[in-house]
Amino acid sequence: MYIHFPWCARKCPYCDFATEPLRVGELPHEAYTDALLRELDARADDLPGRTLKSIFFGGGTPSLWKPAELGRALSAIRAAFDVEVERLEVTVECNPSSLTRKNAALLREAGVDRLSIGVQSLRDSHLDFLGRLHDADRAITALRDAVAEMPRVSADLMFGMPGQSEAELSKDIARVADTGVRHVSAYALTIEEKTMFGSLHRAGKLRVAPEEQYASMFELVETRFAELGWIHYEVSNYAAKGEESRHNLHYWRGGAYLGLGAAAVGCLDRGPGSAERWRNDPNPRRYLSETTLVTETEMLGPEEIIRESLMLGLRTIEGTCLADTAERAGKNPVQGREQEIETALGRGDLVSDGQRLRVPQSRWLKLDGIVRDLF
Ligand code: SF4
């Protein structure tokens, strides 16, 4: 279950997520929970026979939401399912500027067991460049408070900011790990077209790091986490053993999910070889005022299911399970691309044990091209 909270205190200039800036005093805390519960009700027919495995509150900045209201949504979701797994994972994305120790404790009381904190960098000049509301000290305090109150904490880090040195990035990783955090998502800064950075870049007013710098920083991040004994379990994700995000693993394994909230996306299997994906209206005001507002619906057939299964599964250390994919797609995923797979195996871009296809970690920098060559 994915819940989207569509507001932030300020829009970051590189961000193309479906989120709008809103003054904290104007957030419709109760009304948003009410709207989510209306949507949950409207989707009641989709729930029987499904097991609730994880809940992820993303955004936007769900740490701006009153914990009591987030908790009300959480309880209603749990009550709506007949079955849930024994260790339900409940994650909330947070920004250091809106996470206090008290809030973390209230979220824990509400049933949250994992926080994912948007640190991005521990150098104030990079945080200024990224338009973030926190500084490095605030980020470290938020991480320590989160670790003190929550069983599981993750941090987001970014690399490839202009002028960022490898020594700075190494230090960021060491300082984040030192707080007791056991999971990190490390992303390269990318310039998205419909953002302020996109406009500045088009106008020639934004310097970006050269391609080779991204590659060497990616390798540096991998080396630093390997030294800590963490697992590089997905292209952008690192975890101490057992600390992998179960919610994200479920996506990468092609699992079904429901999305609630403005701009939320859901995708449910509709029998072998068929799945339905939809996206809610991204406009929060319209979402608040109507029942369920789906703006886009797409039916996926066997080929689309196979394509996504390879695209997502090959991003992970475990790779794509051929039997699972065949079951979901109603078709053997190898059929029709024997030659492409053979060529990739011959080049060492893919490895197979007969059950799974994997891209070796040493080739992850070339992942996009390797996957493209399979289609
Ligand atoms: S806080 Fe996160 S979701 Fe909000 S604008 Fe910044 S990057 Fe985007």
Total structural domains within the chain: 2
**Residue 209 confidence (pLDDT):** 85
6 Cα: distance to centroid of ligand 1 (angstroms): 10
One domain for residues 247 and 317: no
Residue 110 lies in a domain: yes
Q: Which one of 187, 221, 251 terminates a domain? A: 251
pLDDT, one tens digit per residue, over 82-96 is 999 999 999 999 999
Looking only at the bridges linking them, the beta strands covering 231-234 and 237-239 are antiparallel
**Residue 176 lies in domain:** 2-251
By most ligand atoms within 8 Å of CB, the mutation choice from 15, 93, 99 for ligand 1 is: 15
pLDDT, one tens digit per residue, over 111-132 is 999 999 999 999 999 999 999 9
Which element (helix H / strand E) includes 215? helix 211-228
By most ligand atoms within 8 Å of CB, the mutation choice from 11, 65, 134 for ligand 1 is: 11
One domain for residues 187 and 336: no
**Residue 160 confidence (pLDDT):** 93
Residue 291 predicted with pLDDT over 70? no
Residue 177 lies in a domain: yes
Q: Is 348 helix (H, G, I), strand (E, B) or coil?
A: coil
One domain for residues 113 and 246: yes
Rounded to the nearest integer, the mean pLDDT of the chain is 95
63 lines ligand 1 (CB under 6 A): no
Q: Which one of 185, 219, 251 terminates a domain? A: 251
Residue 295 lies in a domain: no
The CATH number of whichever domain residue 149 belongs to comes to 3.20.20.70
Q: Which atom of ligand 1 is nearest to the CA of 95?
A: 1
One domain for residues 73 and 137: yes
61 lines ligand 1 (CB under 6 A): yes
Q: Which one of 251, 286, 319 terminates a domain? A: 251
* Mean pLDDT along residues 345-359: 96
For every residue of 30-74, which 3-state class applies, written as one string?
A: HHHHHHHHHHHHHCHHHCCCCEEEEEEEEECCHHHCCHHHHHHHH
One domain for residues 231 and 325: no
**Residue 200 confidence (pLDDT):** 94
One domain for residues 215 and 308: no
One domain for residues 96 and 245: yes
* Mean pLDDT along residues 224-243: 98
> 101: closest CA among 71, 145, 134, 70?
145
One domain for residues 310 and 246: no
**Residue 207 confidence (pLDDT):** 84
One domain for residues 131 and 243: yes
8 lines ligand 1 (CB under 6 A): yes
One domain for residues 226 and 131: yes
**pTM for the model:** 0.96
DSSP string, 154-170: EEEEEE--TT--HHHHH
pLDDT, one tens digit per residue, over 5-45 is 999 999 999 999 999 999 999 999 999 999 999 999 999 99
The CATH number of whichever domain residue 359 belongs to comes to 1.10.10.920
Q: Helix, strand, coil shares of the chain as percentages rounded to 5?
A: 45, 25, 35
One domain for residues 122 and 8: yes
Residue 164 lies in a domain: yes
Residue 263 lies in a domain: no
